[in-house]
Structure 1
């Protein structure tokens, strides 16, 4: 399976860099490729990506436009490429993260406006100051490209910071490392990376003194200055190593043992392995597949792609025995190449940079060895994989991470149901016969329609009901109607499964409630129960005028197919704010119109949160609006998958549009949902710490978990405003977003300090807080 696609839109370049792996290395296939990707090739590539996303239910994919120099395509043809890609892939229900990497020579406001329109992140190649850059990055006539590259960086930094992805620098050990770093720092990039020049054992890298590991020395000199500067922006060469020390994914194919999920599409539609293999031998990246006759699934079976999924098993014996192999992962596969006989694997070698990688890793380890002081041992860490921790700890959480939390929540709900079964015996009073019959029906449905039962159990307020039953039984004051709700669960499951059943269900407060479906209002005089006759999933009550079904907003990218607007379930009354009564149709219609508008904002502009929200948010509960008119929202700790909110409305003095306000509430509250699920799986803090802590955003002090929850939620709030500064449609709202970003960035940063200083965080809790601070620090240059 692939999640990253490099699309070559041009095979020529306007520079003649002598360290280029495309034109100056062993592979010469570029000479036989079309100069530009034709419209049919782009269209078929987009269709294949969409097909792959649908087949693997991918919530998002990354497409990087590359070359050669992709801007040689020109603005008009570039617009056509971007339009086809975004329309085709997003029509399939998959979010598209578009990026372009350029030397910057041709970057101008016209291109930048186009990239902003299509939400394309732009990365620039820059090798340092003028002397360092001009050592390699020159025009064919020998002229310098430095001023044009600097102009491109300044354009992105000063006028288009929302699309500035960062800077890539290729190392040359003849350049002074600190001078190169300071030149990169002056561009104030959102992130940077320092790349080892592509080399192999057959064509080794330049070394001035073979007795020294010069590339490690060079990078450690940069690390020392970057560290002394307070790490003003992320440098992937270093953050990947630091993350790997913590057991987290490296985030790059150059380090670590994580499988590589990248494929290259050439201008003629042929599919290739990672581009760097061009440095190995002529034809090294080729696969024999193309987008016109092969799917990406077919291509993924190629031995070259397979080898990159085997982790340690793909490495040489020397690498497997190395103590730092889990960190370096054997280095880049290209750098392991050595020309050999046909019987031998030419990649079965340590990296040509093996000793440099070892010294770099050990050097960073020595410089960052002292761990933070922790007085609290870890207690529960139930099945949180390293990649999920990495996603969530930094404040994000893609669809894969949310799916992991969801699976654990499903297990909890199954356990809760079993406990309710046990507690119901002898605690159901006059409802005992109804409850026993419901339990029998649920067990039968579990055997035949397990998936449907799990869908009903996935209703966010099922745990609220179950815990209420268990609490009542524990205190000796059981409420028979609570246990009788088992019959409603059984009826809802039978209807959804298309099954046959005769079930007596309780009437509570004049209504019959069927979770996930709605309620039938029967009035106070209807008695205490009603028998439902269900045939092939059809039940007459759902067609009665008094039936109030759960309204749904169809959003195809969501795991559940959309969002339920839940204003019927009796157990939703567990929010901090009063829940709204059943919405009249005009009010409901306002919700049904505004939720898609809010989602469009998230899907378009907030790619770090949208896939996770789509995977995990199933329900919005309308809340009663605040008398003051301020926005109101809430989560219930045990209602995973649901948020509560009052519908934002226009008001005097409000700079933010209502749809944007709802999008912000969705980000804010789903942060609470995520962290609550994490806390169900692992201890992040000492639960016996009863002290209260100052929260910068509240007047009243908060318990430690409250401060942790607020901090985590406000990282999402800060990021929302960070992006909104550039994407809001008018100047007033952009100015408002700028002020809000500065306010929440400061508040949240101070809160991470209070948490770290509490002395009551577990090691995993400290990791979360450190990662949140790293995320916030990465935005410092934007404050």
Structure 2
């Protein structure tokens, strides 16, 4: 049973904080929703017409489900690591949509739609990955698509063919073997490692890197550049994001080195920043540099984002420094936190019309987007203020004050809209009031005058440009 969300917890969240008990309420609710979604997928397959899910596909789905159940009996935590992996969420929603859609008249009733077939094949890979993690022996035949056979949370086999191809997979005595059907190559051999990774000397194996946890006793964070559902392939540029990318060994090393410096920098922002990273972050998805950005370096452009259906995942191009890595996590985990809270309790009843000015965007934003942006930016303002107050180097201090001042002014420009909404629920009012209180507490340690003046000018200029582009703010 999920414990109730108390007003004390809600006030913590309004301050962009949250102790372990508070965050565990959000996590347990999201995990429960995921398991219900997976069960709904199985039920939808059983209820789907034969033209959508033919008997042969349904039989395979049930066999995969049986393997999942056997693995769960052996090691429940290992199976949950796969089923609750953030990127399982987008796959499950997509697969459920495919199973619930009307059958196209062109289908024969013996072979599912090609996209749905690939989605159903992925359940077989999920079951295999869960069995490997649980340590139970099995042998099965999987299907690779687009040149890859991905085993979620573990890695992927690069196949010799871009077209769908069968791969025989077996796991016994701690050894994973994968043999591509019809290929004149030797089987790939890989071994699960104690840190959760799966290693192989074979260059065809693309491992998911397991980054050390930011806190002892918490599982590692996966750096996943192989899962086929890490992005949906649509709309990324519209949100200023680049495409998901595969990374090589040199880039993996660079990510790992940057990650190694993140925990102490998160700690500068307060114990709650480490707590939220430990409990909410499960997966990082590498993105390429944002569209139109310059060369990689200290001043290189950066992009990041989250997906509501992929709870626990942060999509990000590689931050230029560990400090920006930490601030990226602070920013994106607020979106994760607030989205989970919104799923648990409604915060407002505003419509979805994009009409509001947000200094961090060039387009009009709906009320919910404004709330999300203000919430993440006030957390950043708080983080960079603490960073500035603790910085030893003048250059680091100046950078932090500049970031703090800009974020604080951006939030100040939109808080009146949030506070003035008559459509906030009781919980939403508590949340916004705590955000306002945090905003005013930031005044206890104001930034140097020059940084404040530049931030004010930045926001004023952004509003003028926004009005020129979008017209006056619509009611």
**Aligned residue number for residue 428 of structure 1:** 53
CA contact (8 A) 1:424 1:483 kept: no
| Match among 82, 93, 99 for residue 473 of structure 1 | 99
Aligned counterpart, 2:85:
459
Cα deviation digits, residues 278-333 of structure 1 (max 9, x gap): xxxxxxxxxxxxxxxxxxxxxxxxxxxxxxxxxxxxxxxxxxxxxxxxxxxxxxxx
CA displacement at 1:470 relative to structure 2:
1.4
2:151 aligned with 1:521: no
Say if 1:731 and 1:527 are closer, same or farther in 2 by CA, change over 3 A.
closer
Residue 315 of structure 2 aligns with which residue?
Answer: 644
1:675 partnered with 2:338: yes
Greater C-alpha Rg: 1
Partner of 1:533: helix, strand, or coil?
strand
Match of 1:634 among 302, 305, 313: 305
Residues 492, 702 of structure 1: alpha-carbon distance in 2 compared, 3 angstrom cutoff: same
1:612 aligns with 2:237: no
**Distance in structure 1 (CA, Å) of the matches to 2:171 and 2:350:** 47
2:11 aligns with one of 390, 393, 398: 390
**Cα distance change on mapping 1:769 and 1:436 into 2, 3 Å:** same
Helix, strand or coil for the counterpart of 1:564?
strand
Q: What is the rounded CA distance, in whole Å, between the counterparts of 1:773 and 1:762 in structure 2?
A: 16
**Count of residue correspondences:** 395
1:581 aligns with 2:233: no
Q: 2:288 aligns with which of 624, 630, 649?
A: 624
* Contact kept? 1:382, 1:681, Cα under 8 Å: no
2:426 equivalent to 1:763: yes
User: For 1:622, what is the secondary structure of its paired residue?
Assistant: strand
CA distance in 1, matches of 2:245, 2:360: 30
CA distance in 1: counterparts of 2:205 and 2:163, whole angstroms:
15
- Aligned pair 1:772/2:443, yes or no? no
Quote the offset at 1:490 in angstroms.
0.8
Q: TM-score, normalised by structure 1?
A: 0.48
CA distances 1:590-628 after superposition (whole Å, capped 9, x unpaired): 101001112221124432311111122121111111232
Q: Is the 8 A contact 1:495 1:538 kept in 2?
A: no
Partner residue of 1:603 out of 263, 267, 270: 267
In 2, Cα distance between equivalents of 1:439 and 1:561: 25
1:407 to 2:33 alignment:
no
- TM-score, structure 2 as length reference: 0.78
Q: Distance in 2 between matches of 1:579 and 1:459?
A: 20
Give how far 1:526 is off.
Answer: 7.2
Structure 1 regions of 5+ residues with no counterpart? 1-380, 650-657
Query: Where do residues 293-308 of structure 1 align in structure 2 (5 Å cutoff)?
Result: none
Distance 1:754 1:738, change over 3 A: same
Q: CA separation of 1:681/1:599 partners in 2, compared to 1, >3 Å: closer, same or farther?
A: same
Tell me the distance in 1 between the aligned counterparts of 2:265 and 2:338.
23
* Cα deviations by residue, 1:615-659 (Å, 9 ceiling, x for unpaired): 22121111111232322111112111111111123xxxxxxxx11
Separation in 2, partners of 1:414, 1:697: 35
5+ long unaligned stretches in structure 2: 104-112, 179-189, 191-199, 294-299, 447-475
1:342-741 aligned within 5 A: 383-425=4-46, 426=50, 427-429=52-54, 431-476=57-102, 479-524=116-161, 527-541=164-178, 542=190, 543=200, 544-555=202-213, 557=215, 560-574=218-232, 576=239, 577-626=241-290, 627-628=292-293, 629-649=300-320, 658-686=321-349, 688-690=351-353, 692-741=355-404
Higher RCO (CA-CA < 8 Å; seq separation 6+): 2
Partner Cα separation in structure 2 for residue 706 and residue 660 of structure 1: 26
Query: Using a 3 Å threshold, how does the CA distance of structure 1 residues 495 and 408 change in structure 2: closer, same or farther?
Result: same
Q: How far, CA to CA, are the matches of 2:6 and 2:121 in structure 1?
A: 38
* Cα drift, residue 695 of structure 1: 1.2
Task: Assess if the C-alpha contact under 8 Å between 2:41 and 2:95 holds in 1.
Answer: yes
Q: Distance in 2 between matches of 1:466 and 1:559?
A: 29
- The alpha-carbon deviation at position 417 of structure 1 amounts to 0.8
Flag the 1:539–1:428 CA change in 2: closer, same or farther, 3 A: farther
Asked whether the equivalents of residues 519 and 548 of structure 1 are also in contact (C-alpha less than 8 Å), the reply is: yes
**Closer, same or farther: CA 382–708 of 1 in aligned 2, 3 Å:** farther
Asked whether the 8 Å contact 1:499–1:534 carries over to 2, the reply is yes
Go from structure 1 to structure 2 and tell me whether the alpha carbon gap of 1:674 and 1:647 turns closer, same or farther (over 3 Å shift).
Answer: same
Tell me which residue corresponds to 2:468: none
Query: Aligned pair in 2 of structure 1 residues 511, 727: CA closer, same or farther (>3 Å)?
Result: same
Q: SS at the partner of 2:150?
A: strand
Aligned alpha-carbon RMSD (Å)? 2.2
CA distance in 2, matches of 1:389, 1:604: 23
Alpha-carbon offset, residue 415 of structure 1 = 0.4
CA contact (8 A) 1:559 1:615 kept: no
